[in-house]
Amino acid sequence: MKKFILALVLGAAIVSCKQEVKEGIKTEEIEVADASQYESFGAEISADGALSAEEMLKEYEKLSVGDSVEIAFKGTIQSVCKKKGCWMKMDLGQPETETFVRFKDYEFFVPMDSEGSEAIIKGIAKKEETTVEELKHYAKDGGKSDEEIAQITEPKVEYTFMADGVLIKKKAS
């Protein structure tokens, strides 16, 4: 009986610690006329309920540092890790505004030649502070010069995304 009560209490504690997902987010239905036009990476996802890049930016702006939301959105890939495709940056519809996308548990990567491609991603969006050390590491992976890397001297508040799955539109042959 004591074990049963202990299990109940632990279960309740775990459930109460779960992150809340923001409700009431307006979504735009994105048409994917032919799923064969997309390559899938990671978990199987669909475009259903995905926000546009501009709508995603508005959701990011509502977050405080450390806040997160489970969401999907569609945008353009701005850059990809040049070493193995282990991260990418996606456009958020405003000049010089993007989200840094990593892939859940490094279980999958994306093609290194994906820049400029349309993508749909689903996962956890977060506003967080990135350390100088991490920024320099990502700059090096992104092919930046030693001079550009040396100019990184302060942490940066960034929009980040941990993707469970990614759909990338295939390039025309």
Is 149:136 a contact under the CB 8 Å cutoff?
A: yes
User: Per-residue pLDDT tens for 8-17?
Assistant: 444 443 333 3
Q: What is the predicted pLDDT for the residue at 34?
A: 58
Q: Of the candidates 23, 29, 83, which has an alpha carbon nearest to the alpha carbon of residue 52?
A: 29
Q: Which amino acid is at 50?
A: A
- What's this model's pTM, rounded to 2 decimal places? 0.71
User: Per-residue pLDDT tens for 83-95?
Assistant: 999 999 999 999 8
Average pLDDT of the chain is 83
Residue 1: pLDDT over 90: no
Q: Output the six-digit token pair for 161.
A: 């995304």
- Provide CATH code, domain 24-169: 2.40.50
**Every domain of the chain and the residues it spans:** 24-169
What percent of the chain is predicted at pLDDT more than 70?
A: 79
Q: Of the candidates 157, 92, 156, 81, which has an alpha carbon nearest to the alpha carbon of residue 121?
A: 92
